[in-house]
Amino acid sequence: MPSKSRRDAEKKLQQLRQTLAGHNHRYYVLDDPQIPDAEYDRLFQELEQLEAEFPDLITADSPTQRVGANARREFAEVNHEVPMLSLGNAFAASDIEEFDRRVRNALDTEQPVEYFAEPKLDGLAVSLRYANGRLVQAATRGDGATGEDVTANVRTIKSVPLTLQGKNYPALLDVRGEVFMSKQGFNRMNAGLAEQGVKTFVNPRNAAAGSLRQLDPHITASRPLEICFHSFGRAEGGQLPDRQSELMTQLRDWGLRVAPETRRVKGAAGCLKYYQELGRKREQLKYEIDGVVYKVDRFDQQRVLGFVSRAPRWAIAHKFPAQEELTVLRAVEFQVGRTGALTPVARLEPVFVGGVTVSNATLHNMDEIERKDVHIGDTVYIRRAGDVIPEVVRVLPERRPKNAARIELPAACPVCGSHIVREPGEAVARCTGGLICAAQRKEALKHFASRRAMDIDGLGSVLVEQLVDDALLHTPADIYRLSDHKAALIRREGLGEKSVDKLLAAVAASKATTLPRFLFALGIRDVGETTAADLADYFGDLDALKQAALDYHKAMADGLAEKDLKALPLQQVGNVGHVIASKIADFFSEPHNTRIIDELLALGVQWQKTAGTAAGPKPLNGKIFVLTGSLNRMTRDEAKVHIQQRGGKVTGSVSKRTDYVVAGVDPGSKFDKAQQLGVAVLDEAAFLLLLELD
The catalytic site residues sit at 120
**CB-nearer residue toward ligand IVH: 117 or 429:** 117
Identify which range of 49-57, 83-91, 607-615, 670-678 contacts ligand IVH by CB under 6 A: 83-91
**CB-nearer residue toward ligand IVH: 157 or 662:** 157
Using CB under 6 A, pick the residue from 21, 29, 50, 87 that binds ligand IVH. 87
Q: Establish if 312 lies at the interface with ligand IVH (CB under 6 A).
A: yes
**CB-nearer residue toward ligand IVH: 315 or 435:** 315
Three-class SS state of 203: coil
Radius of gyration of the chain (CA): 37
Using CB under 6 A, pick the residue from 62, 64, 214, 231 that binds ligand IVH. 231
Edge-to-edge order in the sheet of strand 89-90: 89-90, 315-319, 289-296, 114-121, 263-266
Q: Which residues pair with 137 in a beta bridge?
A: 129
Identify which range of 79-87, 209-217, 346-354, 554-562 contacts ligand IVH by CB under 6 A: 79-87
Contact 317, 291 (CB under 8 A): yes
Identify which range of 119-127, 203-211, 431-439, 476-484 contacts ligand IVH by CB under 6 A: 119-127
Q: Which of residues 267-296 bind ligand IVH (CB under 6 A)?
A: 293
Q: Nearest 10 degrees: CA dihedral of 615, 616, 617, 622?
A: 10
Identify which range of 35-43, 116-124, 593-601, 642-650 contacts ligand IVH by CB under 6 A: 116-124
Cα angle 576-580-581, degrees, rounded to a multiple of 5: 75
Helix and strand totals (H; E) in the chain: 25, 24
Minimal distance, residue 104 CB to ligand IVH, in Å: 20
Number of residues that bind ligand IVH (CB under 6 A): 15
**CB-nearer residue toward ligand IVH: 121 or 545:** 121
SS3 labels along 312-372:
ECCEEEEECCCCEEEEEEEEEEEEECCCCEEEEEEEEEEEEECCEEEEEEECCCHHHHHHH
Q: Establish if 118 lies at the interface with ligand IVH (CB under 6 A).
A: yes
Minimal distance, residue 25 CB to ligand IVH, in Å: 21
Minimal distance, residue 263 CB to ligand IVH, in Å: 12
Minimal distance, residue 139 CB to ligand IVH, in Å: 13
Comparing C-alpha atoms, which of 260, 243, 252 is closest to residue 113? 243
Residue 114 zone, left/alpha/beta (φ > 0; ψ -120 to 50; rest): beta
Identify which range of 184-192, 279-287, 309-317, 632-640 contacts ligand IVH by CB under 6 A: 309-317
Minimal distance, residue 322 CB to ligand IVH, in Å: 14
Minimal distance, residue 134 CB to ligand IVH, in Å: 24
**CB-nearer residue toward ligand IVH: 311 or 404:** 311
**CB-nearer residue toward ligand IVH: 100 or 178:** 178
Q: Which amino acid is at 208?
A: A
Q: Establish if 230 lies at the interface with ligand IVH (CB under 6 A).
A: yes
Q: What share of the chain is helix, strand, coil (3-state, %, to 5)?
A: 40, 20, 35
Q: Which of residues 139-158 bind ligand IVH (CB under 6 A)?
A: 141
Using CB under 6 A, pick the residue from 16, 29, 125, 439 that binds ligand IVH. 125
**CB-nearer residue toward ligand IVH: 304 or 468:** 304
Binding pattern for the stretch 176-215 against ligand IVH, x by CB under 6 A and - elsewhere = --x-------------------------------------
Q: How far apart are CA 490 and CA 500, in angstroms?
A: 6
Contact 138, 149 (CB under 8 A): yes
Contact 145, 79 (CB under 8 A): yes
Minimal distance, residue 317 CB to ligand IVH, in Å: 5
Contact 349, 330 (CB under 8 A): yes
Binding pattern for the stretch 315-334 against ligand IVH, x by CB under 6 A and - elsewhere = x-x-----------------
450 half-sphere exposure, CB direction, 13 A CA radius: 16
Rounded to whole angstroms, what are the CA distances from 192 to 159, 195, 198, 225, 453? Answer: 22, 5, 9, 15, 43
Using CB under 6 A, pick the residue from 120, 282, 383, 446 that binds ligand IVH. 120
Q: Establish if 243 lies at the interface with ligand IVH (CB under 6 A).
A: no
Identify which range of 82-90, 247-255, 347-355, 642-650 contacts ligand IVH by CB under 6 A: 82-90
**CB-nearer residue toward ligand IVH: 121 or 477:** 121
Identify which range of 84-92, 97-105, 442-450, 611-619 contacts ligand IVH by CB under 6 A: 84-92
Residue 182 Cα to chain centre, angstroms: 18
**CB-nearer residue toward ligand IVH: 230 or 243:** 230
Q: Which residues contact 13 (CB under 8 A, 6 or more apart)?
A: 47, 50, 51, 54, 57, 62
Q: Establish if 174 lies at the interface with ligand IVH (CB under 6 A).
A: no
Minimal distance, residue 369 CB to ligand IVH, in Å: 35
Dihedral of alpha carbons 632, 638, 640, 643, sign: negative
Alpha helices in 198-346 (DSSP H): 204-212, 217-221, 244-253, 267-281, 299-305
Residue ranges in contact with ligand IVH by CB under 6 A: 85-87, 118, 120-121, 125, 141, 178, 230-231, 293, 312, 315, 317
